[in-house]
Structures are given as structure tokens and as C-alpha cells.
């Protein structure tokens, strides 16, 4: 059994009362109508991440072009240099500038790392109660991201930086709902209703957000399909499978409702035995902690 650091008590899901169901349906309808009419406020990526993604996607981009953008953000530059010197990417010699960090990491990896490093900025709210939920959501996302990163390093098919970003954005669709809750006292005061709305809408809203950010289809699929534990579109594993298994390991789901792991195709496709209830990652705990520290956790 995995070390207790990687195990949490299952979340007890409370079903809404009958009189709340109508209100939930009304809120969901209003939010989806606002989304379709472009009236729903969606979170935006910080400007530095947008610029980096745009520049890296240009086939004529050089490392110098990327470095010019990164050095405008002193804190980001320092974090990137620290990561390049960390046990995750350490080379023979220490580095002390952004250009050297780019040479070690590569601009494609840096694109996803920069996006991951600045992602925390959008998990913030103006009211204390919503900000508390945002913080919890970010902590859960960093845990899933760190485990997904480690899982991806063990399977040749996947890139760890993509798995990391997939873990961070898998619940991104919850943000517009929490932002709406700031202006809707009756929703904010009823956590059962709020949880149910998030359950129903986080996936379609997540798809909308990632489309607006021009993210690749592999990441869009993560936020759209990570809740479907029976998902099995093809024999080969994909990024969604990695995030699903990372979520199971972090125990963000109510494990009592998923005791039969034989019914979860992602486990078998990634080479894990379905006779287990918790994936043993004891030997990877140091790496998981390192990844979470990299993200500021």
C-alpha cells in the first residue's frame, strides 16, 4: 500500500435535496446560455504564457526569441533557472541564466513549463470563501499533476511536461462556476448545490476554456473526459488515461463508489494491475514532492 502521504480519506458526496434540484437546473441552464451567448466570463491565461505559446508555435522561433519574453518576468526567470538546476532536469553543470535554461530544457518543454508555472495565478478569487475553494482546487490539481508527471516518466509514449499540464487543467472548468458563485450568495452558501453544478458543468466549461486558449486537442480531451472512468475509445493509452490514473492515486474521487478497479480501462492500458486499490508510488515520493515544489506547492 502506498505511503500515507499519497493517501487521503475519500470525499463523501452529499446528494442535493429535491427542492434544490430545480435550482441547480436553473443555474446550469443560465450558465450554459451565457456560455453560448459569449456572456460567461472565462479565465484567461497570464500574458507571459500566451506570448510564449504563440512564439513557440511559430516554426521560425529561436531560443533567443523565447528568452526575450521570459526575462521580462524576473520571478518566472528565477523559477525556470531553479527548475533547470533541480533533480528533475539537472545536468552536469549548474546554470545561472535563462538562455542556458532554455538550452537544457528545450523551448517546447519550456512552453508547457511556463504555462504550468503561471497557472496558479488564475486560481484566485476576491471573496475569502471562494478563494478558499480555489486554493483547495489548486492543491488538488497540483497533486494530480505531480503524480501524472511521474507516471508519464515511466511510460515512453508520454511527455512528462504534457502530463503535468494535463493534471493542472483537468478541473479548470470549475473556475467560471466559482467566479459566478462570488456574485450569487445563495449558491455560495449552499455547498451541496455548488458541488452538483460543478459536477455537471466543469467538463463542458473546461472544453470552452481550453478552446479559447487554443490548447491542443489532447489537453482539451483531458478536461472534457477525465470524469469518465469507463472511457475506452481505443486500445492505446492516451493523456486522459494518465490523468484518470493520477486522480485515482490521489484519491480525489470517492473510492467507495469505485471499489472494482477491473472496470477502469485506463489502469490496464497503462500497465497497472486492476487487483490493487492504491498504486504503489513509494519509490517516487521524492520526485512527486519535487514536482509539487516546482509548482509552488
The residue ranking higher by pLDDT, 11 or 177, is 177
Question: How far is Cα of residue 212 from the mean position of the Cα atoms in its chain?
Answer: 16
C-alpha cell at 24: 441547480
Q: What percent of the chain has pLDDT over 70?
A: 88
Q: Reduced to 3 states, what is the DSSP secondary structure of residue 181?
A: helix
Instruction: Locate 28 and state its grid cell.
Output: 446550469
Task: Report whether 194 contacts 188 (CB < 8 A).
Answer: yes
The three-state secondary structure class of 12 is coil
Only one residue has cell 443560465, namely 30
Question: What is the predicted pLDDT for the residue at 17?
Answer: 65
Q: Is 75 part of a structural domain of the chain? A: yes
Residue 182 has pLDDT above 90, yes or no: no
- Structural domain harbouring 154: 21-294
Q: Does residue 141 lie within any of the structural domains?
A: yes
Cell numbers representing residue 229 in the block: 472512468
From residue 107, give the alpha-carbon distance in Å to each of 61, 87, 101, 148, 150. 9, 19, 9, 21, 21
Supply the pLDDT for residue 219. 97
Residue at 78 is within a domain = yes
| Structure confidence at residue 271 as a pLDDT band (50, 70, 90) | confident
pLDDT score, position 11: 40
pLDDT of residue 126: 86
On whether residue 9 sits in a domain, the answer given is no
* Number of separate helices (H) and strands (E) present in the chain: 15, 0
Percent of the chain with pLDDT over 90: 65
Average pLDDT, the chain: 86
Joined grid coordinates for residue 184: 450569487
Query: For the segment 244-262, what is each residue's pLDDT rounded down to a tens digit?
Result: 999 988 874 444 445 577 7
> Is 116 exposed, middle or buried (CB count within 10 Å of its CB: 0-12, 13-18, 19+)?
buried
* pLDDT value of residue 2: 34
SS (H, E, C) 161-173: HHHHHHHHHCCCC
CATH number at residue 147: 1.10.3210.10
Mean pLDDT of 49-64: 93
| The total number of structural domains that make up the chain | 1
Residue 14 resides in a domain: no
Q: Is residue 286 part of a domain?
A: yes
pLDDT tier at 20, thresholds 50, 70, 90: confident
Among 129, 209, 218, residue whose Cα is nearest residue 174: 209
Residue 3 belongs to some domain of the structure: no
Whole-number pLDDT of residue 92? 78
Nearest in space to 226 (alpha carbons), one of 191, 189, 264: 264
Tell me the pTM. 0.87
pLDDT of 296? 79
Instruction: Give tens-digit pLDDT for 169-179.
Output: 999 999 999 99
- 66-75, 90-99, 115-124, 142-151: least confidently modelled range: 90-99
Amino acid at each position: 500500500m502506498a505511503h500515507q502521504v499519497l493517501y487521503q480519506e475519500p470525499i463523501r458526496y452529499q446528494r442535493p435535496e429535491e427542492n434544490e434540484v430545480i435550482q441547480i437546473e436553473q443555474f446550469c441552464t443560465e450558465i450554459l446560455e451565457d456560455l453560448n451567448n459569449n456572456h460567461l466570463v472565462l479565465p484567461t491565461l497570464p500574458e507571459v504564457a500566451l506570448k510564449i505559446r504563440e512564439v513557440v508555435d511559430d516554426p521560425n522561433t529561436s531560443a533567443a526569441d523565447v528568452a526575450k519574453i521570459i526575462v521580462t518576468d524576473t520571478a518566472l526567470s528565477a523559477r525556470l533557472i531553479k527548475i533547470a538546476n533541480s533533480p528533475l532536469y539537472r545536468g552536469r553543470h549548474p546554470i545561472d541564466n535563462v538562455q542556458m535554461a532554455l538550452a537544457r530544457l528545450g523551448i517546447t518543454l519550456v512552453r508547457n513549463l511556463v504555462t504550468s508555472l503561471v497557472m496558479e495565478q488564475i486560481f484566485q478569487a476576491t471573496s475569502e470563501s471562494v478563494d478558499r475553494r480555489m486554493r483547495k482546487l489548486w492543491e488538488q490539481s497540483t497533486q494530480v499533476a505531480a503524480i501524472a508527471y511521474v507516471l508519464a516518466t515511466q511510460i515512453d509514449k508520454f511527455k512528462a511536461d504534457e502530463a503535468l499540464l494535463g493534471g493542472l487543467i483537468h478541473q479548470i472548468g470549475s473556475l467560471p462556476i466559482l467566479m459566478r458563485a462570488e456574485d450569487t450568495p445563495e449558491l455560495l452558501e449552499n455547498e451541496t448545490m455548488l458541488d452538483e453544478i460543478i459536477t455537471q458543468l466543469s467538463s463542458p466549461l473546461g472544453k470552452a476554456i481550453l478552446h479559447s486558449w487554443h490548447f491542443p486537442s489532447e489537453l482539451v480531451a483531458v478536461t472534457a473526459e477525465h470524469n469518465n472512468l469507463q472511457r475506452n475509445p481505443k486500445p492505446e493509452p492516451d493523456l486522459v488515461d494518465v490523468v484518470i490514473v493520477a486522480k485515482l492515486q490521489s484519491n480525489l474521487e470517492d473510492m467507495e463508489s469505485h471499489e472494482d478497479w477491473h472496470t477502469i480501462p485506463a489502469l490496464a492500458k497503462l500497465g497497472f494491475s486492476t487487483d490493487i486499490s492504491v498504486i504503489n508510488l513509494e519509490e517516487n515520493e521524492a520526485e512527486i514532492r519535487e514536482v509539487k515544489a516546482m509548482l509552488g506547492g
